[in-house]
Amino acid sequence: MEILAFGVQADEKPLIEKAFAGHHDVRCLDVFLTEDTAPIAAGYETVSTSVNAILDHRVLQTLAAGGTRMIAQRSTGFNNIDLEVAERLGLTVARVSSYSPYSVAEFAWALALAVNRRIVRASNRTRDFDFRLHGLMGRDLRGRTVGVLGTGRIGEAFTRIAHGFGMRLLGWDIVENPACTALGMEYVEKDRLLAEADLVSLHVPLLPATHHLIDAVALKAMKDDAILVNSSRGGLVDTDALVTELRAGRFTGVGLDVYEAEAGLFFLDKSLAGIEDDTLARLVTFPNVVVTSHQAYYTADAVGQIIDTTVRNVLNYFEGRRDENVLVPRA
């Protein structure tokens, strides 16, 4: 049996091929699964997809018509998959329910530190042999307040690092994490967290209830000199509203590893094609904003765990087993 894997990065390909060796053959493609590329999957019972795949009803219908019966997504998030349509078509869907939380938490801190200490601006200057310090002043984080929206495994890892910095810890979640409470975190309402936090970091999944969790109202509730970091899902932030606040001169810095309209952009080289997304084009012009390309998870440790779990999901499908990674069970 041959597995078809869409959206495979060059660094991932040898890891995927090695992980599947001895189990199934695998064909790796660097193109993402979209309506245009879905016909390639004809004849493949099992397809593996990346987080930026678009699995709406049209794509799922094309896959099902071509003989696909199982989709193994190589990510935790699954907001890109229409699960109701998948179930109706008899498609089994599995994801990677967890992987190294430290990969994302550590990268979120890298973004926070980069915007606080003006690392990108400083690096660009020194490449031109400009060694002035003007405009590079940051702030100590010790003693300041961090607000963590979402205190699951990644949020907890982020909080532990914040505790190491000696910061005051505020949290917001539907369920309190005892590990965070033990570190001294105080759980408060979102409005209070936004009003008091010097650094706000997002670690919640993208659901209908969390879409634009940070909207125009939430942004206005934040301190003018706050730092905002999003390493979770782009749709958590109303980007147009964020641009409006940035144009007004608000916020010490914003670090974004995700963007709500990133599908069709992130993981691709658009350097010669140009960007038609005016919001993103405006966003990256602000000197206090750092945008990266959804790479927080991209460590050898995390990617290895993601691939190993994906292989296990495929093997479970063929052997009739079901675990916590299954979103739509086999009919």
Q: pLDDT truncated to tens, each residue of the chain (331 aa)?
A: 899 999 999 999 999 999 999 999 999 999 999 999 999 999 999 999 998 898 999 999 999 999 999 999 999 988 899 999 999 999 999 999 999 999 999 999 999 999 999 999 999 999 999 999 999 999 999 999 999 999 999 999 999 999 999 999 999 999 999 999 999 999 999 999 999 999 999 999 999 999 999 999 999 999 999 999 999 999 999 999 999 999 999 999 999 999 999 988 888 888 888 788 999 999 999 999 999 999 999 999 999 999 999 999 999 999 999 999 999 998 7
How many angstroms separate the CA atoms of 327 and 330, rounded? Answer: 10
Helix axis angle for 153-165 and 101-116, nearest 10°, is: 40
Backbone angles phi, psi at 279, to 5 degrees: -65, -45
Q: 123-160: per-residue pLDDT in tens?
A: 999 999 999 999 999 999 999 999 999 999 999 999 99
**Among this protein's residues, is 319 annotated catalytic?**
no
Please identify which of the residues 233, 245, 250, 312 carries the catalytic annotation: 233
CB 45 within 8 A of CB 69: yes
DSSP-assigned beta bridge partners for residue 92: 70
Backbone angles phi, psi at 188, to 5 degrees: -135, 170
Please identify which of the residues 12, 156, 196, 262 carries the catalytic annotation: 262
**Among this protein's residues, is 186 annotated catalytic?**
no
Q: Nearest CA to 310 among 51, 32, 11, 40?
A: 51
Token pair, residue 111, equals: 């973004």
Token pair, residue 257, equals: 């590893």
First to last CA, the chain: 20
- pTM of this structure: 0.92
Token pair, residue 67, equals: 């003989």
**Among this protein's residues, is 211 annotated catalytic?**
no
Please identify which of the residues 153, 168, 294, 312 carries the catalytic annotation: 294
Q: 182-233: per-residue pLDDT in tens?
A: 999 999 999 999 999 999 999 999 999 999 999 999 999 999 999 999 999 9
Cα–Cα distances in Å, from 32 out to 58, 263, 303?
Answer: 15, 9, 17
